[in-house]
């Protein structure tokens, strides 16, 4: 199966594209785009990989679903297109960065500027039906994105993994903490951010870790 994804990821994930679950997933997603409004636009499903090749990854932020409102999702978790209002979780992420790093103001909710520095902004599920959160869960995306995490875990070293909330923590439970930095807290959602997301200092801790291993730090502005 010819999957249109960045070349280094295409090589690393090639075995997945031949598996039965991925073939079923592809059939399902194609049909969904034909019959429903699906986000992100089809050409941006693998945007996080396009902007962040395998050997460039220095940090991974794990989300759950793409945003399901019009004009928001563009293939990067927690990110929205330029000019789109910041969703509540992203507001809280920026609030924590300001507290932790002193950065303000933030130019846009488009986090492609992070991806281009080696931050893989990975949703567990890469597509969603409009206004129907969770609608593409348990169709095969989770298995695919598990393979992404496993490849990074096994073949790379000294990556900072951000696991916010129980869902992300479960998804990242197999990460080798002797090889990588695992940063865990509650989710930045307004429902939980005040119970441990604020003050977690994950962004400065990530940069301190990268510096320790002689890696370029990330500009979180």
d(CA 13, CA 19): 11
154-170 in b/e form (b: 16+ CB < 10 A) is: eeeeebbbbbbbeebbe
Q: Is 94 left (phi over 0), alpha (psi -120 to 50) or beta?
A: alpha
Residue 85 falls in the annotated catalytic set = no
DSSP, residue by residue, 76-134 = STT---TTSPPPHHHHHHHHHHHHHH-------S-THHHHTTTEEEEESS--EETTBTT
Find the helix or strand (DSSP H, E) in which 148 lies: helix 141-155
DSSP secondary-structure letter at 59?
A: E
CB 8 within 8 A of CB 57: no
Q: Which residues contact 44 (CB under 8 A, 6 or more apart)?
A: 73, 74, 75
Catalytic residue (one of 27, 65, 82, 176):
65
* Catalytic residue list: 65
């Amino acid at each position: 199966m010819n999957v249109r994804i960045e070349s280094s990821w295409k090589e690393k994930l090639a075995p997945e594209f031949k598996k039965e679950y991925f073939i079923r997933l592809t059939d399902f997603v194609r049909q969904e785009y034909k019959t429903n409004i699906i986000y992100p636009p089809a050409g941006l499903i693998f945007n996080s990989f396009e902007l962040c090749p395998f050997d460039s990854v220095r940090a991974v932020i794990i989300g759950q679903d793409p945003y399901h409102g019009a004009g928001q999702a563009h293939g990067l978790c927690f990110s929205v297109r330029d000019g789109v209002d910041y969703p509540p979780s992203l507001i809280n992420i920026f609030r924590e960065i300001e507290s932790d790093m002193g950065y303000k103001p933030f130019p846009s909710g488009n986090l492609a500027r992070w991806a281009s520095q080696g931050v893989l902004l990975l949703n567990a599920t890469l597509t969603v039906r409009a206004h129907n959160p969770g609608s593409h869960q348990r169709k095969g995306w989770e298995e695919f994105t598990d393979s992404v995490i496993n490849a990074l875990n096994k073949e790379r070293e000294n990556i900072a993994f951000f696991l916010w909330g129980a869902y992300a923590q479960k998804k990242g439970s197999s990460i080798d903490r002797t090889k990588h930095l695992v940063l865990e807290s509650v989710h930045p959602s307004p429902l939980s951010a005040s119970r441990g997301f604020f003050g977690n200092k994950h962004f400065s801790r990530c940069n301190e870790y990268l510096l320790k291993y002689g890696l370029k730090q990330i500009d979180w502005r």
